[in-house]
Amino acid sequence: MGYILELLRQYGMSECNPVATPSECITVFDKSCEKLDKIYPYREIIGALMYLSVATRPDIANTVARLAQFVNDPSKAHWNAVKRVLRYLAGTADKGLVYQRTALPLVGYTDADWGGCTSDRRSYTGYAYLLSNAAISWKSQKQRTVALSSTEAEYVSLAEAAKEAVYLRSLLLEIGTKEFTDITIYVDNRGAQCLASDPVYHARTKHIDIKHHFVRECVSKGLFTLAHISTHEMLADVMTKPLARVNHERCRTGLGLTA
């Protein structure tokens, strides 16, 4: 909380009007917007927000990741979007990750926003892992290749989440907490789930980079279990795209960000 209040004070936003979400639902972040007419501390604010999104605030991770692409040439729209993030933080400065004692094992959520970037039509990967009723690891990142279908985008996202699951499982075993390693990863795309569980390589999937099929090996070895979940219950949704207030608050609470 102290970091957020200091950040608001430093950039003259202490008395700003709070908003309910860090980004508008319909927002176009590209290079065609009107350029800034003077120098603003855009790069400095993005750096501060990136630190915050990585450390304790997964709810702003996707918005910050999208805005960070334009640190070399921001526009007025990008500057206004950054100020909106600060306004959102002003209204949620008391929110933080609250962990509770529980015997539940590690659980993960993975999602993708197919073609979410309007500039190059690449998709966004998002995942979050929860332990003790709050997020312990999360990621929001643009995919490096263009996905040709929503299933492919979700599969690539699942592969990224699988790598993190293997690491977290190894960490939990190393510190002697084997009881938490019965990992379940939830996905909301049946096609990606079936693709990950099918050991056969099909003609329609041969264009997918071989590194993404790592998830198949993990499933066959029993390193984690895949389970389907409704899109309306997908907590990683907030890691891939801007959401309306109700959905954003649902995901934020589900990730353990409470007062």
Query: Cα-flanking dihedrals φ and ψ of residue 61, to 5°?
Result: -60, -45
Residue 31 pLDDT exceeds 70: no
In the chain the first and final C-alpha atoms are separated, in Å, by: 10
Residue 174 CA from chain centroid, whole number:
26
Residue 73 pLDDT exceeds 90: no
pLDDT of residue 170: 97
Query: Which tokens belong to 238?
Result: 């907030």
Q: What is the pLDDT of residues 103-144, one digit of tens each?
A: 999 999 999 999 988 888 999 999 999 999 999 999 999 999
With cut-offs at 50, 70 and 90, classify the pLDDT of residue 208.
confident
How many CB atoms neighbour CB 138 within 10 A?
Answer: 24
pLDDT of residue 35: 76
pLDDT of residue 25: 83
Determine the Cα–Cα distance for residues 99 and 125; give it in Å rounded to an integer. 25
Q: Which domains does the chain have, with CATH numbers?
A: 2-94 (no CATH), 107-258 (3.30.420.10)
With cut-offs at 50, 70 and 90, classify the pLDDT of residue 195.
confident
Q: Mean pLDDT across the stretch 34-50?
A: 88
* Cβ neighbourhood burial of 35 (10 Å; 0-12, 13-18, 19+): exposed
Task: Kindly tell me the sign of the dihedral angle through the C-alpha atoms of 145, 109, 172, 97.
Answer: positive
Residue 61 pLDDT exceeds 90: yes
Q: What is the pLDDT of residues 227-252, one digit of tens each?
A: 999 999 999 999 999 999 999 999 99
pLDDT of residue 169: 97
Task: List Cα–Cα distances, 151 to 58, 195, 215, 233, in angstroms.
Answer: 24, 9, 14, 18
Q: Mean pLDDT across the stretch 18-33?
A: 79
pLDDT of residue 54: 95
With cut-offs at 50, 70 and 90, classify the pLDDT of residue 209.
low
Determine the Cα–Cα distance for residues 172 and 154; give it in Å rounded to an integer. 26
Percent of the residues in the chain that have a pLDDT greater than 90, as a whole number: 74
Determine the Cα–Cα distance for residues 253 and 58; give it in Å rounded to an integer. 11
Which has more pLDDT, 234 or 38? 234
As a whole number, the mean pLDDT across the chain is: 91
Lowest mean pLDDT among 62-66, 100-104, 201-205, 234-238: 201-205
Query: pTM (2 decimals)?
Result: 0.92
pLDDT of residue 187: 96
- Residue 42, helix vs strand vs coil: helix
**Region at 115 (left for phi over 0; alpha for psi -120 to 50; beta for the rest):** left
How many CB atoms neighbour CB 113 within 10 A?
Answer: 24
pLDDT of residue 200: 59
